[in-house]
Structure 1
Amino acid sequence: VQTRLPMCLKAILSLYSTIELFVNRLDSVESVLPYEYTVFDFCSENTMKRPSENLGQVLFGERIEPSPYKFEFKKPAVCQKVCTKSYDINSPADKAKLDFLKKGMLLNYQHHWIVDNMPVTWCYDVEDGQKFCNPGFPIGCYVTEGGRAKDACVVNSNFNEKDAFYIFNHVDITIHYHIVEHEQLGARLVAAKIEPKSYENLNDDSPDCSGGPKFLKNKHTGPFKIPYTYSVNFVEDKNIRWASRWDYILESMPHTNIQWFSIMNSLVIVLFLSGMVAMIMLRTLHKDIARYNQMDSVVSTLIRKVFSYSNEDAQEEFGWKLVHGDVFRPPRKGMLLSVFLGSGTQIFIMTFVTLFFACLGFLSPANRGALMTCAVVLWVLLGTPAGYVAARLYKSFGGEKWKTNVLLTALLCPGVVFADFFVMNLILWGEGSSAAMPFGTLVAILALWFCISVPLTFIGAYFGFKKAGIEHPVRTNQIPRQIPEQSFYTKPFPGIIMGGILPFGCIFIQLFFILNSIWSHQMYYMFGFLFLVFIILVITCSEATILLCYFHLCAEDYHWQWRSFLTSGFTAVYFLVYAIHYFFSKLQITGLASTILYFGYTMIMALIFFLFTGTIGFFACFWFVTKIYSVVKVD
């Protein structure tokens, strides 16, 4: 009995332990600017102790704070007072607070509360009898002068006062749990649901959650009070396991069927391109190579001697073989191309490893900010392959300014991204948004860049320049061959435009969900689909670029290096066009600052995507060109 008594006491205490509720930033689908909880003058906790936040949470603007909402486990509460906020319209400070609160309700800003690292969800019925669980709930809503209810005001027919803001000053919280047997934990929380309501509460000292809804007239004068209350109830649920407690949120988002449609659509494109590449490799090239190699036979040698038929004359029949002496000629602006390829390699490896970890479940939505933290840390640590690839390619291009190459690899593309990000951060600072990065975090990111990433880039470049240059299978002629007049379809610009269509067609459905998760604040969790689409994108970019590269070589155009990079990299232009279409057709963002922020961050994503896809196309073409010219016997 004495040995079991401490275990029993621990279990009993855990059953009646305090449940603490945390509050996060408030955001809106009509504004890019998130704000901290305290900015809206809600009831706040006196203590300023805040949970530690990782780098990803800071970059996404999450600001988790303790709240005055605290419950005792399995102790229901009805209409408990939290605090009462009093305002005087004649006071400029109070008027500014109310105006900001009205602006938040007008733009449909939403709370994000957290219990036991789980989002407190607002579940409501949608069409077809389905239930949608939103990991947030509105602070209020607005009824226009014409009597039209906006946003959440449509859920209550009593919200009929015209030109009025209805405040959700009461919440009914239901916490689901299950008892854990054979463990000392006692119980585990498996769901937390909330229903926002609005009550007048004439008696502020002892509210009873009765009376009509609490509203604020748009042209209200005089004093105004907002009493905040809550009710909490506990429900035992034996059907939900603790490991599956996020499922009810994710299952309410009906994306799975659409995702499979996207995958099948992409696979059809991949099979089509694979068939085309296979036809070229197995039929066209096989015939060409066989005809060239046939010339080295004894019979063909006798024929050349009798008829004075030289090997050079035979080569005039075939297009891609004619440019064997120029196909590995260094490209123009080789310095810039090598820098882009080094940065693209860094981004490619970072993306692959991040998505792989996400598929394994290490970067799930439950690990807040883990995805962005992992991506940033990997990018910093991958400076070595970036420097190595840039230096090795630049050396193979015949470049000698190795110091400039290393500095540009370490500073050019990251510098452009950082400059754009810094300008966006200045706008966020000016607007007082929680997404504005603190000065200390900004210094920490610069330290990661200059103290870790840049030195690693120099180390990679050292080994890249130290290693011997890339040996090409054919020699390069001293005098460049003249390129004949090209048809419309083999000219650079039309080919580049056509090359980005198929890769974009593989990802645009997945891209819709990614943009929704970023700008519409929806939860993204289907990393398995995303990783599969990532593989399909790599294959599609490679095959489409190889096809166009072969056609250009057959047209005796040997400038394939930049063209292969830009062909697949042009997918980023389609991404940018789609992002613009998404902004005007899907989003309800208003305000100049939010518009600038949207397009500023979109430009960063487009640049990263451009380097990523361009690098895939270049290395696919490099492999293809090296392969076909290495099996051809050249005199």
Structure 2
Amino acid sequence: MHADIRRSVILCAFAVLIQAFYIPGVTYKPYTDGETIPLLVNKVYSDKSELQYAWTELPFACPPTGRIRTRRLTSGTSITLNLGEVLRGDRITVSDYELVMGQDIEARHLCDKEVNSDGLRRTNELIKDGYVAEWIVDNLPGATSFQSTDKTRKYYAAGFKIGDQLRSAKGAEPSFIINNHVTLVIRYHRAPGKDGAKGKKVIVGFEVFPKSISANNRTDGLPADVHAQQDPMALVPQSNSTGETDSSEESILSIPFTYSVYFRENAELDWQNRWDMYFVASDDSSNVHWLAIVNSLIIAGLLTAVVAVILTRTIRGDIKGYEQTGIKLKTKRSQILKTTQPYQKNHGLLGQIDEEGDADISDDEDMEDITGWKLVHGDVFRAPLYGGLLAPLIGSGIQLLFTTIGILILSVVGVLNPSFRGGYVSVGFGLWIFAGLFSGYSSARVYKTFGGQVWQKNVIVTASLVPGLLFATIFILNLFVWMRASSTALPFTTLLALVFLWLFIQLPLVYVGGWYGFTKHGAWSPPIKSNVIPRQIPPQPWHTRPAQAVLLAGLVPFLVIFVELMFVFKSLWMDKSGYYYVFGFMGVVSGVLVVTVIEVTIVGVYLELCAEDYNWHWRSFLLGSASALYIFAYTIYYFFAQLHISGFISAMLFFAYGALACVLYGLLMGTIGFLAAWTFVGRIYGSVKVD
């Protein structure tokens, strides 16, 4: 009976969770006529700076008064954010703008904001740097509408300008105006299903048309005609009674803020397609995406042909000849043992010829048939130098691989989408934490394979190396951002939460995975035992030397992703929206990239072994991660050629975060390269049997 009660409680709780679960982009919010819709203010951002600022902390922003109540929200309430939103600099607050479904407002006064000289100076700097504001209605960012290139379609660009810089005479000080009036156009559609039958509506568009109207063109704070041409609101201190400008520090400017609201039905746009308006301009570049895929497939196809020749013809022929030579060696060894056995027995040397036979037989002329990669069969599975560092890197790479695959799958199926603000970072962080199990497991097995004994030490290094590097870098950068009072700065409580997640969740998961991998499964057994004395490595040709090999290996994968990389950079650094959505293209290009990295690594390791260099472990990792160097070089080029970022802190943030991204990419591709080389080497040497 108690079991039935517990089962019923669990089912009821599960049902409540299902009803309360909201999937952004899937679950819609219907509104009835007369219902108040909250307008959320978030932040301002610019393509000229990496610093973002919360709207409510700007010197010209009207402070919320708490007079607007919508459902469970009151103006001035800060919205609870997920980890991804905090990391991307969001600071969302309910505003005093009153939106009532179906009710147009010709003009309404919001507030008169008094701004002192310091506030005016800062506002001028924000306008000069081209900052745009992000407001949110029903999870849609306020957009500026444009026409497509062929003038046949309208599309949205997230955000709207907070002001403009006026052209001034040569040598004169620049003048600035602020957009103190906004016309808000809410586009709606009939709600689907039963809600639509009840007259409910869903929001499918949120457009913002900013305008600057001088205080002299107003009556009781309201503009006489919001549609007529008006004198702009210049950001200069007010004049005193004598008509002269007061230049003292106490001089202020009173800025009136007003707004208009219009509700318009859009019967052609369904709710589930409302985000398409933000991507019309991106759709025009779909042909370029297809060009990127074709380019990637051609490069990968040529490389596949090279690898196929190596595997099917060269290596198979080498193995066949090696096996024939091995049969001859086995026969000659038997003959030597038979003829020398009486001598061994009489002199007490029985067994020495058997143990040292390889050294004696290696001088035989038949060993001339064994060349290239076959000569290092006794050393190829020797533990590499600094294996205690390589194993944690491989473990962290496995962790990152699991996270990346999870994000791509969730993005392709639509669970992660632009309406899920901060979802990519939040879900990715959760997958990363959970993947600590796989990180500890794989790292421990590789560590034991390399001869490691203290698995607890390996667990600590695996759990601390990459997360410690990321946290230390972000913490140092955060100090600079804090000094600028930017919303990009992580709150101290968030930093504590990250440390808590690392200490009490990820570290135990890595520990459990490491214990299970080291004690239960143990090391991978190589197909060939290593010789006692390492073989001397001969001088290497130019193409197998580390620097040249890495540079050559990194070029091919970079060419595979170069075109798609331009779109990713544009979304992250120029648009600042983060609304990169063509994950179908990204999934295909990523698959081709992985295949290319595997094939490049196999070719590089094969050439290295043919040059009688058996130190392939670190080389395979470096070959796989080599394209990260080209991506960082492209990042530098993109900064100087495409971006207009100014200021030391913004430039430092750009290069620091770009370098971190390249390091993580290199870790991921390096792990894939190492696993490919491990499989390749084990397969070819496992096929060689010489007794």
The two structures share one fold, judged by TM-score above 0.5? yes
State whether residues 474 and 634 of structure 1, in contact with CA within 8 Å, keep that contact through their aligned partners in structure 2.
no
Query: SS at 2:207's partner residue?
Result: strand
504, 529, 542: which one aligns with 2:558: 504
487, 505, 524: which one aligns with 1:452: 505
State whether residues 316 and 322 of structure 1, in contact with CA within 8 Å, keep that contact through their aligned partners in structure 2.
no
Deviations 1:239-271 (A, max 9, x none): 111111111111222332221111111111111
Instruction: Name the CA shift for 1:370/1:168 in 2 (closer, same or farther; >3 Å).
Output: same
Deviations 1:404-454 (A, max 9, x none): 222111111211111000011111111100111111111111100111111
Q: Tell me, yes or no, if structure 1 residue 486 matches structure 2 residue 552.
A: no
Cross-structure match for 2:242:
none
- Measure, in 2, the Cα distance between the counterparts of 1:177 and 1:131: 16
State whether residues 213 and 223 of structure 2, in contact with CA within 8 Å, keep that contact through their aligned partners in structure 1.
no
- Measure, in 2, the Cα distance between the counterparts of 1:434 and 1:623: 47
- Measure, in 2, the Cα distance between the counterparts of 1:310 and 1:274: 39
Q: Tell me, yes or no, if structure 1 residue 582 matches structure 2 residue 598.
A: no
Cross-structure match for 1:137:
160
Cross-structure match for 1:101:
123
State whether residues 154 and 277 of structure 2, in contact with CA within 8 Å, keep that contact through their aligned partners in structure 1.
no
Q: Tell me, yes or no, if structure 1 residue 234 matches structure 2 residue 263.
A: yes
Matched letter for residue 138 of structure 2: D
- Measure, in 1, the Cα distance between the counterparts of 2:427 and 2:589: 20
- Measure, in 2, the Cα distance between the counterparts of 1:499 and 1:285: 21
Instruction: Name the CA shift for 1:204/1:573 in 2 (closer, same or farther; >3 Å).
Output: farther
Say which is worse superposed, 483-492 or 41-50, in terms of deviation: 41-50
State whether residues 427 and 593 of structure 1, in contact with CA within 8 Å, keep that contact through their aligned partners in structure 2.
yes
Offset of residue 536 of structure 1: 1.6
Q: Tell me, yes or no, if structure 1 residue 203 matches structure 2 residue 219.
A: yes
- Measure, in 1, the Cα distance between the counterparts of 2:445 and 2:270: 53
- Measure, in 1, the Cα distance between the counterparts of 2:593 and 2:440: 25
Alignment of 1:108-123 (within 5 A): 108-123=130-145
- Measure, in 1, the Cα distance between the counterparts of 2:31 and 2:416: 33
Q: Tell me, yes or no, if structure 1 residue 24 matches structure 2 residue 24.
A: no
Matched letter for residue 191 of structure 1: G
Gaps of 5+ in 1: 1-10, 88-93, 149-160
State whether residues 105 and 140 of structure 1, in contact with CA within 8 Å, keep that contact through their aligned partners in structure 2.
yes
Deviations 1:248-305 (A, max 9, x none): 1112223322211111111111111111111111111111112122346689959998
Cross-structure match for 1:176:
187
Gaps of 5+ in 2: 1-28, 67-75, 239-244, 247-251, 340-359
Deviations 1:157-197 (A, max 9, x none): xxxx9721121112222221122365235111111112222
Alignment of 1:318-357 (within 5 A): 318-357=371-410
Say which is worse superposed, 45-54 or 132-141, in terms of deviation: 45-54
State whether residues 57 and 368 of structure 1, in contact with CA within 8 Å, keep that contact through their aligned partners in structure 2.
yes
Cross-structure match for 1:603:
659
- Measure, in 2, the Cα distance between the counterparts of 1:61 and 1:558: 48
Query: SS at 1:177's partner residue?
Result: strand
Query: SS at 1:16's partner residue?
Result: coil
Say which is worse superposed, 52-61 or 504-513, in terms of deviation: 504-513
Offset of residue 372 of structure 1: 0.4
Cross-structure match for 2:95:
67
Offset of residue 634 of structure 1: 2.1
Deviations 1:89-116 (A, max 9, x none): xxxxx11111111111011110111111
Cross-structure match for 1:158:
none
Deviations 1:432-478 (A, max 9, x none): 00111111111111100111111111111111211232111111001
- Measure, in 1, the Cα distance between the counterparts of 2:187 and 2:222: 28
Cross-structure match for 2:175:
164
Query: SS at 2:410's partner residue?
Result: helix
Q: Tell me, yes or no, if structure 1 residue 283 matches structure 2 residue 305.
A: no
Instruction: Name the CA shift for 1:255/1:551 in 2 (closer, same or farther; >3 Å).
Output: same
State whether residues 143 and 162 of structure 1, in contact with CA within 8 Å, keep that contact through their aligned partners in structure 2.
no
State whether residues 124 and 235 of structure 2, in contact with CA within 8 Å, keep that contact through their aligned partners in structure 1.
no
Alignment of 1:510-589 (within 5 A): 510-520=564-574, 521-522=576-577, 523-589=579-645
- Measure, in 2, the Cα distance between the counterparts of 1:634 and 1:265: 44
295, 306, 318: which one aligns with 1:265: 295
Q: What is the TM-score of this pair, normalised by structure 2?
A: 0.83
Instruction: Name the CA shift for 1:303/1:481 in 2 (closer, same or farther; >3 Å).
Output: closer
- Measure, in 2, the Cα distance between the counterparts of 1:255 and 1:44: 42
Offset of residue 315 of structure 1: 4.0
Query: SS at 2:78's partner residue?
Result: coil
State whether residues 315 and 321 of structure 1, in contact with CA within 8 Å, keep that contact through their aligned partners in structure 2.
no
Aligned length: 606
- Measure, in 2, the Cα distance between the counterparts of 1:65 and 1:171: 18
Instruction: Name the CA shift for 1:313/1:184 in 2 (closer, same or farther; >3 Å).
Output: same
431, 435, 440: which one aligns with 1:387: 440
Q: Tell me, yes or no, if structure 1 residue 86 matches structure 2 residue 139.
A: no
- Measure, in 2, the Cα distance between the counterparts of 1:344 and 1:266: 24
Q: Tell me, yes or no, if structure 1 residue 189 matches structure 2 residue 212.
A: no
Matched letter for residue 556 of structure 1: E
367, 373, 383: which one aligns with 2:426: 373
Instruction: Name the CA shift for 1:489/1:245 in 2 (closer, same or farther; >3 Å).
Output: same
Instruction: Name the CA shift for 1:203/1:211 in 2 (closer, same or farther; >3 Å).
Output: farther
- Measure, in 2, the Cα distance between the counterparts of 1:424 and 1:288: 54
Deviations 1:541-566 (A, max 9, x none): 11000001111111111110000101
Q: What is the TM-score of this pair, normalised by structure 1?
A: 0.91
Cross-structure match for 2:350:
none
Cross-structure match for 2:12:
none
State whether residues 147 and 163 of structure 1, in contact with CA within 8 Å, keep that contact through their aligned partners in structure 2.
no
Query: SS at 1:184's partner residue?
Result: helix
State whether residues 388 and 464 of structure 1, in contact with CA within 8 Å, keep that contact through their aligned partners in structure 2.
yes
Offset of residue 319 of structure 1: 0.6
Offset of residue 611 of structure 1: 1.0
Deviations 1:11-59 (A, max 9, x none): 9981221122111111000010000002223123223312221111011
- Measure, in 1, the Cα distance between the counterparts of 2:583 and 2:149: 27
Cross-structure match for 2:343:
none
Instruction: Name the CA shift for 1:594/1:609 in 2 (closer, same or farther; >3 Å).
Output: same
Instruction: Name the CA shift for 1:619/1:182 in 2 (closer, same or farther; >3 Å).
Output: closer
Query: SS at 2:32's partner residue?
Result: helix
State whether residues 155 and 277 of structure 2, in contact with CA within 8 Å, keep that contact through their aligned partners in structure 1.
no
Query: SS at 2:514's partner residue?
Result: helix
State whether residues 56 and 373 of structure 1, in contact with CA within 8 Å, keep that contact through their aligned partners in structure 2.
yes
- Measure, in 2, the Cα distance between the counterparts of 1:302 and 1:447: 66
354, 358, 368: which one aligns with 1:316: 368
Instruction: Name the CA shift for 1:95/1:495 in 2 (closer, same or farther; >3 Å).
Output: same
Q: Tell me, yes or no, if structure 1 residue 212 matches structure 2 residue 230.
A: yes
What is the percent sequence identity of the aligned residues?
Answer: 37
- Measure, in 1, the Cα distance between the counterparts of 2:330 and 2:389: 46
Q: Tell me, yes or no, if structure 1 residue 437 matches structure 2 residue 490.
A: yes
State whether residues 179 and 211 of structure 2, in contact with CA within 8 Å, keep that contact through their aligned partners in structure 1.
yes
- Measure, in 1, the Cα distance between the counterparts of 2:514 and 2:550: 30
- Measure, in 1, the Cα distance between the counterparts of 2:441 and 2:580: 34
- Measure, in 1, the Cα distance between the counterparts of 2:112 and 2:297: 58
Query: SS at 1:348's partner residue?
Result: helix
State whether residues 185 and 263 of structure 2, in contact with CA within 8 Å, keep that contact through their aligned partners in structure 1.
yes
State whether residues 198 and 213 of structure 1, in contact with CA within 8 Å, keep that contact through their aligned partners in structure 2.
yes
